[in-house]
Structure 1
Amino acid sequence: MQTIHMTDIYGQYLTMKAEIDNAIQEVIKSTRFIKSGKVLDFEAKVAEYLNTNVITCGNGTDALRLAFMALDLKPGDEVITTAFSFVSTVEVLVLMGLKPVFVDVYPDTFNLDVAQIETVITPKTKAILPVHLFGQCANMEAVVNIAKKHDLYVVEDACQAFGTDYLFSDGTKKKAGTIGHVGCNSFFPSKNLGAFGDGGAVFSSDIKLADTIRSIANHGMKAKYEYERIGINSRLDSIQAAILEVKLKYIDKHIDARQTAARFYDEHLNNLNGLKIPARTEYSTHTFHQYTIQSERRDELKTYLESHGIPSMVYYPKALHLQEAYKSLGYKAGDFPIAERITQTVLSLPMHTELDIEQMEYIVNAIKSFSQSS
């Protein structure tokens, strides 16, 4: 049996090696490394895939920063978001002088509990920032309705959900990141559409807003050496764009491979004593950036899997409101009990496009053995 990896970026590369190698060589030969050539080609193809406007940038954190800069929020403005996510979600807000206002999450999908949003809206609230955690959308129809009612912006953190479909009650279907005023994406190497380095993108169906984001990402430029606003330098380089353009051709195939692996896990891990498999919702597909189970004996299970050569990861071991860096926000232990509890139970299993049956059988058999030993 091949070594089991948490993610297998190299194995996936081998399935596209000739195309990727050729694409990289084309960029080198062109010497068009920044904001041209392959970058523009890639932006156009992502825009076609998502049916929206696309601005690439340096990484997912920059994508969030660009979104909030474009919305022209002011220091002290409040943004409602989840207490259970990667730190970038809140980091950007604090750096910009905005105030994150947390709500708790659902215990089964890990996404923000929409029923709590209106309870924390104040006159200073300006935006809602849902995170589509692990590849499944938050309840965006509810979020959008609340935002419309209170005249708020919606910025989607879709960094873990590229290619996920959201299904509205009227039958309308949209891709994650294209539902709110702005969507943000990361091309971190382990993502479903991952670069061989850092990369990100911002999405918006509002052409004027998209133009503003594009300007901010390029120093606030209006025309060459003319600057109409304060901006930053956040760019996807052409080599990364070339790699991503090749991978984009296979994104639906890669998502299907992840979903196939998830179904295998579901079939063999469902109903095991003391273990919960990832919940699904009727309003979103799941593209499984992570396949995250829950166990009250999480740490023991993780150690057991490691002893059998099976990697696993804890995403995330501490809720955002309890991180030392954000103590100044005034939250304390017990404020978001579900987010706090699941940090003690979540465990992500190997999930990538190159998992084979032998590896998956070995993984589930190890988990079954652990479960039966309890």
Structure 2
Amino acid sequence: MISKKDITKRFISYVTIDTESDPESNTTPSTEKQWDLANKLVQELKDIGLEEVTIDENAYIMATLPSTIDADIPTIGFISHFDTSPDFTGANVNPQVIESYDGGDIILNQFENIILSPDYFEDLKLYKGQTLITTDGTTLLGADDKAGIAEIVSAMEYLVQHPEIKHGKIRVGFTPDEEIGRGAHKFDVKKFGADWAYTMDGSEIGELEYENFNAAGAVVTIKGKIVHPGYAKGKMINSMYIAQDYINSLPRLETPEHTSGREGFFHLHNIKGDVEETQLHYIIRDHDKEHFEARKEVMKNLAHEINAQHGKDVVHIEIKDQYYNMREKVEPVMHIVDIAEEAMKSLDIKPIIKPIRGGTDGSQLSYMGLPCPNIFAGGHNFHGRYEYVPVESMIKAVEVIVKIAELTAIKNFEN
């Protein structure tokens, strides 16, 4: 299988290219710099020997590895995204390679005293003795999801070099703007032409996920009235105070920092305001569809209650659904999850089957007609300075991709 040196080199060549996406942009991709990596990937896919390598006007990349057997085998796909999160800078990424990790603190940045410690990030203890790639403490790393891209490209290269391995037609897809919720928006499922696919976008080795949050975004706008504070009695309406009432009226323990597993939440992630107007930006998440709908009603009813208290329409709320739980679309074709689980077990990887506390391109693609579970890419602590990835986990992900291709051919499912 691929060497540690080769996959490390490939991964670092990706993460040192800044591909941060921008939620305020209306273009696709949302940032021009995403083209830098996209164009590099197109050339690399051609160089390793894939066919039908295309990139469209929105930077969606597709490629084909032809079947090695003359049989009616389902076409499967592997998908990852090449943008990085706008939550933390992805410019000037300077990866550090930690050989034979000793299990202790890792100094990411001595000057700023930034330390990656197993005392806080306990998952580090799983990787003692392995090779870790970390940040230098000033940027994110970009393992989400450039680790996934490195794994897919490496797996395809391996299969090209080993035509004796029996597999059906395999499609590869790389997308922009996943981190801002648009990764699947312009994905051409018909053109991709796969019966099912897997996103390589999970975290810890062994993760296998086929259910995720139902998701919506809410913007609560509170209108106030500004007058001179010296003469404000009975006249001024301070929108920030009303906003505070709105915030405090939602269940305080139903927030991200107090929930886990399948528990949903309300998350206030941005506030901008003054006396005249305040805006609250929320995301609403729940795995259960009925609870999800109930959460939206709670926010709407609260707006009505506050308006009734003030005798006027001071609170306006706009809620837009973002994506839904893909479990509904995957359960009817559970053999695609079973194949991935069997692939992991055959490689002595313990499958960790759990709900995603977030979203993935796969959730939207599943509702677009392409069932798409999610598989680990190996990284931890995404979207921040403490992000890292064990090289051994990336190698195992490559092996899983190859094994899934083999098992799909062996089982020879009917289309």
TM-score normalized by the length of structure 1: 0.26
Greater helix share, structure number: 1
Query: Which has the larger Rg?
Result: 2
Report the TM-score, using the length of structure 2 for normalisation: 0.24
